[in-house]
Structure 1
């Protein structure tokens, strides 16, 4: 058994993740800044109709990714699954490319959250220097990841519960207030979708006029959706530590998709209901970060309805979720770096750990990348946020393209070797159609649409171009470098090995597994709700 699989087994024995942890990691890991704050930027450019349509369409893409990952991960639940699947089913060079890309993806989310933290903080005051806020947040992340990492698992679970409660609460707020449950007794319903009440609604024009402008508005919303909606990849990362993975993971994959769709599709609908896309406070909050206005559409709507206290509570909860998300990304990015180093895909120095098991140099590298948040000191917060959105979206789409291509190799490899699909612990539907369409859509959106405004006349901007298309140039270089450096072999369908020894270990583990009783009252409640 490889060293990294052995480490995963040790971690499973020490602190295995139950169904409630896995489901909340997939949901809570993606609910945060993008849903509560950044989504308002897309609303102003596409309108409520385009926003809702884009999020609905992108959910079908997540369904396809969900189907691809669920089959492979339940076949062999291992640590860093889609990186190691690319190694084994395609080419170790693609695994190297996937691993570095995922590390960049996780690491770049940290400065995004830090910039967003400062933006949301502006609701109360702009007297605190931006550099001071960034420094304090990064120092807190360093302390938490170096000295308090033992609290991470259970604390993140309950913080994820808090995010879910906040998301449900905001959707309930939308429904109650739209039917008149607000201090103004204003039954506004779908007024912000009505073109007679809000000019240009529900499909707003962006940059150009007419049908082209409305399409460009929809395109902006689709890019926002591709950045915002995720989940299956987060669930797959828990595979190496899941209790009874072949029973737990299928349920987790299925439930995460439906719950994410509920949160994000309904969330995008609610955003377009509570505030008009042309709201001046929303436009100014996103561009100027004015104190008192708030940067979340929900906070702006509450203030407009003259609801006391609640805007402060919601803004504080959003601020907490942003901080939690950033801390989570520090943990995930540093452990990704650590795992890559164990596999020889990063310098050996990143395998060194402190006495309590913290990969000190991996954490240091991750926090060093987070210093990009200081770009906000000399640039507008909204601009810097968009830079990170573009970079993270490009990395995420590349990750999805690699996953879908790896799945196709997995699918046709099983066919070539006569392995019936009935042997799979979990069989998804619409295969291999999901794998084919996912790869095509991810490549098209990544290559053509992310950062597309930079190519319009008079819009050329070097930072925007680099943040949008850097990975497009870096990914092939990574692949070629590793293939030449390690002289890797492209796997033919009939030569693929399907983790036979590792599968035997999983079978032995599940056959001899004895479940522990929940250790606390709250754990019992969590198991009851999410089992």
Structure 2
């Protein structure tokens, strides 16, 4: 209570959210006070870790393998527009995450934000929906590993591959938190530099520079830009959303960073790299090198290969095909470890909010939440064994549809929480200039992300009732759309339990719970002092968006 009164007293000094308590000297951006948002998690991750997790968190099976499925369904133009639209949503969501995560870097970030700025029932539904989505992602990435390794051999039984790499995911996550961060930094660096190789190589292949095949150019765009009409384009969207799911991981990781004011904006500003290099240019490279009718595409009749691997093999560049498959393997494994990490942290926030058993709060001295980790490994590992009796593409379709719906629900509530936060901030007499970090995109980005999240959930209902190229059945509907009924049941159940109003009024929203206060010195001034000579300054300016203040 005293802390709240102290905070109120600083309002007239334009210091809300940016000032430290009186008589406290701290370094620029250093965390100086929390208000009820701490847990037993350890702040062991740095700006470098958060930026690289933000860049590489969702680069996995959805992009490297799922883009083949999207190409067969929607054609070259369909997949490209799908990634452009999905990319704008991800960008908008990350702008909302940046502003909220700096101010409130708490466990289970967007779950806590939903409960604080919307209402408890929404937070309950979101928290448990997202909790189930992460084990689903772990299962999907594990079955993706089986698909990737089948490129080299099919002699090893699928259950053996699943068991081996489930153990690997477990080992990465039960190491110290900073070990997890270093693993993801390494994986993200591999992904980042390899995509540059892919872009250059695919341009050469498309121009006819490979040992085999002639020039391709935009031949496939001219032949059939969009396959299966408008419904084909709509069918691309779930795969695109799944490919970008995990983009919100920076919000969860913020609770374990030493300096959220420094780390989170760097992660948000780096989002354009992932959207441009990985998704937009990556999708474009697929469309100018691989035919939508290639039977080897993931989900086709052949070996379920990545379109990037197919491009290299068709061009007669076998060594690059093997290297590409190796990078895909690293990417899929990395995405699986991030999903396990994020899924194990969500129950902590739910337990702190009284929405999960108290034992989920407990962490050991290294900051490892054992209860959350074990639950994710058991559920995710169990689902992964679905791949034993079904094809990889079939399991991928089931799990990616479920994940994309949970993801859209989460993205929508993140944007809505941001909108409600800003309304409360204004209603209680504060200025946007009082925020420790603010996005220049408000309110347009927040409303854009919310609008498309709602619309695409409706689109997936349409596709579940009237599927592309198949007869509608109750089984297929629930296999593709069961996430939404589950969310509705969770929400209505919570409404019956919590009762009260349907949302918290702006004037009644608690702006102090879980809030962080930072040192008064501006980060820009500190960074300017560190630049030193012009060479270092140019390097930092050019690559700062990617590396952050990482020490590279």
Tell whether the structures are fold-level matches, with TM greater than 0.5.
yes
Offset of residue 288 of structure 1: 4.7
Give yes or no for the alignment of 1:155 onto 2:183.
yes
Q: Cα deviation per residue 1:82-139 (whole Å; 9 max; x = unaligned)? A: 1111111121222222211221222210011011111111112222222222222223
Distance 2:100 2:396 in 1: 34
Q: Check conservation: 2:34, 2:515, Cα contact below 8 A.
A: no
Task: Say if 1:89 and 1:409, in contact at 8 Å, map to a contact too.
Answer: yes
Q: Cα–Cα, structure 1 residues 22 and 150, in superposed 2: closer, same or farther, change >3 Å?
A: closer
* 8 A Cα contact 1:122 1:289, kept in partner: no
Aligned pairs (5 A) from 1:190-339: 190-195=218-223, 201-205=224-228, 214-230=229-245, 232-282=247-297, 286-288=299-301, 290=303, 295-339=305-349
Q: Are 1:104 and 2:137 an aligned pair?
A: no
Seen in structure 2, the aligned counterparts of structure 1 residues 462 and 280 have a Cα distance that, compared at 3 Å, is same
Pairwise CA distance, 1:462:
4.5
Query: Is residue 502 of structure 1 aligned with residue 515 of structure 2?
Result: yes
Distance 1:325 1:439 in 2: 25
CA RMSD of aligned residues (A): 3.0
Match of residue 110 from structure 2: 82
Residue from 430, 442, 460 that aligns with 2:472: 460
1:231 to 1:311, Cα distance in 2 relative to 1, 3 A:
same
Task: Give the secondary-structure state (helix, strand or coil) at the position aligned to 1:5.
Answer: coil
User: TM-score, normalising length from structure 1?
Assistant: 0.85
Question: Which deviates more from structure 2 when the two are superposed, residues 164-173 or residues 428-437?
Answer: 428-437
Unaligned runs of 5+ in 2: 1-32, 531-538
Whether the 8 Å CA contact 1:92–1:488 is kept in 2: the answer is no
State the match for 2:145 in structure 1: 117
Cα pair distance change 1:190/1:288, threshold 3 Å: closer
Residue correspondence of structure 1 range 417-436 to structure 2 within 5 A: 417-436=428-447
Q: 1:482 matched to which residue of 2? A: 494
Match of 1:17 among 36, 46, 58: 46
What is the rounded CA distance, in whole Å, between the counterparts of 2:97 and 2:118 in structure 1?
15
Deviation string 1:191-232 (CA, Å, 9 cap, x unpaired) is 22232xxxxx22222xxxxxxxx1111112222222222565
Output aligned runs, 1:375-394, within 5 Å. 375-394=386-405
How many angstroms does 1:299 deviate by?
0.9
Shift of 1:163: 1.4
Q: What 5-or-longer segments of structure 1 have no aligned partner?
A: 196-200, 206-213, 518-523
CA 1:4–1:319: 2 relative to 1, 3 Å: farther
CA deviation string 1:382-403 (max 9, x = no partner): 1110000100000000001111
Using the alignment, how far apart are the partners of 2:478 and 2:57 within structure 1?
A: 27
Aligned counterparts, 1:342-421, within 5 A: 342-353=352-363, 357-370=367-380, 371-421=382-432
Deviates more, 1:108-117 or 1:469-478: 469-478
Question: What is the alpha-carbon distance in structure 1 between the residues aligned to residue 441 and residue 340 of structure 2?
Answer: 36
Cα distance in 1 for partners of 2:260, 2:171 equals 32
Moved more, 255-264 or 304-313: 255-264
State the Cα distance separating 1:483 from its structure 2 match.
3.7
Q: How does 1:120-139 map onto structure 2 within 5 Å?
A: 120-139=148-167
- Return closer, same or farther for 1:42/1:149 CA change in 2, 3 Å cut-off: same
Q: Tell me if the contact between 2:54 and 2:247 (Cα under 8 Å) persists in the aligned partners.
A: yes
The answer as to whether partners of 2:42 and 2:366 remain within 8 angstroms in 1 is no
Residue by residue over 1:456-482, the C-alpha shift from the partner in whole angstroms, topping out at 9 and shown as x without a partner, is 596234554224322212223222333
Deviates more, 1:34-43 or 1:82-91: 82-91
Distance 2:324 2:143 in 1: 19
User: 1:244, 1:510 within 8 Å by CA — same for their partners in 2?
Assistant: no
Q: Name whichever structure is richer in helix by fraction.
A: 1
Deviation (angstroms), 1:373: 1.5
Q: Separation in 1 of the partners of 2:63 and 2:334?
A: 14
Shift of 1:269: 0.7
